[in-house]
């Protein structure tokens, strides 16, 4: 990426490689909440910022924050990720991603005083008199990030969709964020769907109903667009000036559910397919109907959705429109888990049954096999007529954690450390993961058509188009000496075909490997 020279306080710290949590920051609107975070975290009183488009630092300790605790290595926080995310949401942080990146060491740790429960924000005092420099630095850094990153994109709530029954799990209307294109991209559209797993029973759907994955009432009202959605040419050369959309995910079925009845006890609505259609109809009115170029993309469960809805997306647009689809981290394979059980197959069967998804899956697949098997891309990708690009790791971190070694089938927790950080994996565990990689590559065979594209590395990662570090950065993952951003752009514009499979772990030195709490 292009580095922009700016003046920062110089504290003369050198850089080294440590494992960190990467946090995208927003402008702080409440100085007391900022001070509260400084109390909760042991923040150094001085540091030297990296010239990156995100704020990075090492969390050394955390106090009184949702049962979080310091890991044994003293490097990262071990706590429920959703709880930590909720803490950061209150401080206007966009997201938290566990990654392994380069960062400066903390030369000198400043520890906050203990804060008893019930004390107000003003009761926390940094022990070091220079602690106020961090406040100055953060405010200064926010100005830098405002100028360097994409602006906040406001939410659009489709209130009229409720009349058609197109609603989230809790009955609230669907939503999306639209950042208008400019220049040569004014008639090009990137429609990106938000991911977030699935719910397979009433209990899991009820839990989602109270958060942003089940209700638009608690969704962020503004989002920062990064990665493939970034508006800066240096960070996103081929799509930065397109109309860029992020469709919010609130149905738990990869936008496939459609059950007419509503349970009076749970008040759960399973209407993902109607949500999809309602958002498309609204975007067509916003100018999608005049698109010259269109790319449907999605991450994780939405990467699956981008495959399932690829042909129907094409059918909505004018005949002359150049339409393609990108699945990021959504090529889930039907593999047995470490106990030999068909865990993911049973799970998908529960999702499809609960949400009534069968009627919205490709009939070319459901006419040949059990509908839930049509939730696996290996059974449907070869049937998709629209050009399709698969971006995935062959040892995708979500699939290793949830398909290969789900916690339910690892009662002794023998895979826990390995799933947290691939560097912790034993030789035997790595061999099992290499077997999973071979199964993944076997499942890719339906993508042999020249119209398909794929970028398949073996990084311990998930959703690589949504993050600046993996989409286009210096360094970022490479195959055939090509970044993900360039591979997707070249493929979309027919500059060259791209079908590359990388070396097995740990032979790819360009990987950004995720670390989980």
**Residues involved in catalysis:** 300, 396, 462
H-helix segments, 363-426:
363-366, 377-380, 397-399, 416-420
Distance CA 124, CA 483 (A): 45
Closest alpha carbon to 182 in 228, 224, 243: 243
Q: Is the peptide bond before 420 cis (omega within 30 degrees of 0)?
A: no
Closest alpha carbon to 295 in 244, 330, 360: 244
Closest alpha carbon to 195 in 155, 251, 269, 270: 251
In which region does residue 481 sit, left (phi positive, over 0), alpha (psi from -120 to 50) or beta (all else)? left
H-helix segments, 189-230:
202-209
What angle do the packed helices 132-148 and 31-40 form, to 10 degrees? 120
250 and 169 Cβ atoms separated by less than 8 Å: yes
**Coil, helix or strand at residue 323:** strand
Distance CA 376, CA 393 (A): 16
C-alpha pair distances (Å), 65 with each of 41, 211, 218, 490? 9, 19, 21, 45
Distance CA 101, CA 103 (A): 6
Partners of 189 in the β-ladder: 243, 294
Q: What does residue 482 show for φ and ψ, rounded to 5 degrees?
A: -130, 135
Closest alpha carbon to 97 in 466, 487, 399: 466
C-alpha pair distances (Å), 95 with each of 54, 83, 195, 220, 258? 11, 12, 14, 11, 30
């Amino acid at each position: 990426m292009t580095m922009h020279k700016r003046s920062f306080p110089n504290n003369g710290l050198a850089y080294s490689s440590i494992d960190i949590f990467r946090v995208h920051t927003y402008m702080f609107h409440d100085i007391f909440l900022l001070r509260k975070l400084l109390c909760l975290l042991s923040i150094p009183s001085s540091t030297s910022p990296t010239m990156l488009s995100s704020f990075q630092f090492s969390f050394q300790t955390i106090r009184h924050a949702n049962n979080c605790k310091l890991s044994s290595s003293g490097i990262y926080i071990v706590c429920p990720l959703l709880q930590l995310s909720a803490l950061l949401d209150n401080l206007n942080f966009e997201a938290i991603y566990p990654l392994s990146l380069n960062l400066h060491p903390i030369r000198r740790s400043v520890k906050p005083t203990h804060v008893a429960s019930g004390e107000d924000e003003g009761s926390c005092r940094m022990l070091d008199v220079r602690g106020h420099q961090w406040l100055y630095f953060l405010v200064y850094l926010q100005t830098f990030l405002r100028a360097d990153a994409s602006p906040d994109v406001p939410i659009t709530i489709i209130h009229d969709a409720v009349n058609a029954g197109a609603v989230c799990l809790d009955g609230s209307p669907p939503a999306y964020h639209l950042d208008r294109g400019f220049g040569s991209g004014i008639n090009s559209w990137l429609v990106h769907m938000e991911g977030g797993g699935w719910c397979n029973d009433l209990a899991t759907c009820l839990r989602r109903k109270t958060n942003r994955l089940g209700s638009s009432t608690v969704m962020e009202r503004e989002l920062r667009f990064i990665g493939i959605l970034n508006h800066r040419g240096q960070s996103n050369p081929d799509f930065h000036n397109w109309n860029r959309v992020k469709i919010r995910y609130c149905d738990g079925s990869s936008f496939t559910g459609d059950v007419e009845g509503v349970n009076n006890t749970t008040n759960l609505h399973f209407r993902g397919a109607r949500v999809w259609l309602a958002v498309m109809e609204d975007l067509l009115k916003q100018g999608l109907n005049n698109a010259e170029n269109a790319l449907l993309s999605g991450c994780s469960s939405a990467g699956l959705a981008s495959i399932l809805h690829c042909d129907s997306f094409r059918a909505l647009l004018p005949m002359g429109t150049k339409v393609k689809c990108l699945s990021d981290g959504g090529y889930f394979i039907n593999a047995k888990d470490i106990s030999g059980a068909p865990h993911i197959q049973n799970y998908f069967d529960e999702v499809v049954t609960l949400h009534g998804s069968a009627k919205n899956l490709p009939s070319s697949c459901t006419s040949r096999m059990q509908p839930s098997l049509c939730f696996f891309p290996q059974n449907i990708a070869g049937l998709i007529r629209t050009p399709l690009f698969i971006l995935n790791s062959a040892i995708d971190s979500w699939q290793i954690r949830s398909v290969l070694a789900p916690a339910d089938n690892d009662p002794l927790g023998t895979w826990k450390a390995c799933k947290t950080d691939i560097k912790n994996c034993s030789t035997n565990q790595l061999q099992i993961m290499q077997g999973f990689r071979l199964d993944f590559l076997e499942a890719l065979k339906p993508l042999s058509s020249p119209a398909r594209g794929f970028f398949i590395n073996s990084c311990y990662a998930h959703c690589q188009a949504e993050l600046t570090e993996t989409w286009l950065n210096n360094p970022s993952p490479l195959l055939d000496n090509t970044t993900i951003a360039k591979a997707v752009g070249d493929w979309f514009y027919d500059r060259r075909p791209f079908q590359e499979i990388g070396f097995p772990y740990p032979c790819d030195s360009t990987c950004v490997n995720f670390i989980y709490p």
